[in-house]
Structure 1
Amino acid sequence: MKYLIVGLGNIGQEYADTRHNIGFMVLDELAKQENAKFYSMRLGYYTEVSYKGRMLYLIKPTTYMNLSGKSLNYWMKELKIPIDNVLVIVDDIALPLGTLRLKPKGSAAGHNGLKNIEYTLGHSNYARLRFGVGDNFPKGKQVDYVLSGFDDDELPQLPALIERSIEMIKSFATIGAELTMTRFNK
Structure 2
Amino acid sequence: MKVVVGLGNPGRQYLGTRHNIGFVVVEACAKLDPAAGWRLKFSSQCCEVRMGSETVLLACPQTFMNLSGNAIRQMVGFHKVPLVDLLVVCDDMNLPVGKLRLRAAGSAGGQKGLQNAIDQFGSNQFARLRFGVGRPPGQMAATDYVLGRFAKAETDDVDLAVGRAVDAVRLWVEQGVTAAMNRVNAAPEGSV
Same fold (TM over 0.5): yes
Task: List gaps (5 residues or longer) in structure 2.
Answer: 187-192
Separation in 2 of the partners of 1:91 and 1:165? 12
SS in structure 2 opposite 1:84?
helix
Q: Is 1:159 matched with 2:159? A: yes
Matched residue, 2:189: none
Partner Cα separation in structure 2 for residue 57 and residue 137 of structure 1: 36
In the other structure, the counterpart of 1:15 is 14
3-state DSSP class of the match of 1:33? Answer: coil
| Counterparts of 1:151 and 1:37, CA distance in 2 | 31
Shift of 1:98: 2.2
**Where does residue 37 of structure 1 map in the other structure?**
37
Tell me: CA distance 1:71–1:100, structure 2 relative to 1, closer, same or farther (3 Å): same
Deviates more, 1:29-38 or 1:19-28: 29-38
Which structure 2 residues correspond to residues 132-147 of structure 1 after superposition, within 5 A? Answer: 132-139=132-139, 141-147=141-147
In the other structure, the counterpart of 2:2 is 3
For the residues of structure 1 that align with 2:68 and 2:173, how far apart are their CA atoms?
A: 21
Runs of 4+ in 1 over 6 A off after TM superposition: none
User: Per-residue CA shift, 1:125-158, capped at 9, x if unaligned?
Assistant: 1100000000033346100000000001001112
Cα distance in 2, alignment partners of residues 32 and 51 from structure 1: 11
* Alignment length (residue pairs): 185
TM superposition shift of 1:167 = 0.7
Measure, in 2, the Cα distance between the counterparts of 1:171 and 1:111: 24
1:24-62 deviation per Cα after TM superposition (whole angstroms, max 9, x unaligned): 001111212322232122310010101111011001001
Please list the CA deviations of residues 112-133 of structure 1 after superposition, one character each: whole Å capped at 9, or x if unmatched: 1011111111111110000000
AA matched with 1:128: R
Residue 123 (structure 1) aligns with: 123
Normalised to the residue count of structure 1, the TM-score between the two structures is 0.96
What is the RMSD of the two structures over their aligned residues, measured on CA atoms? Answer: 1.1
Segments of 5+ residues of structure 1 without an aligned counterpart are: none
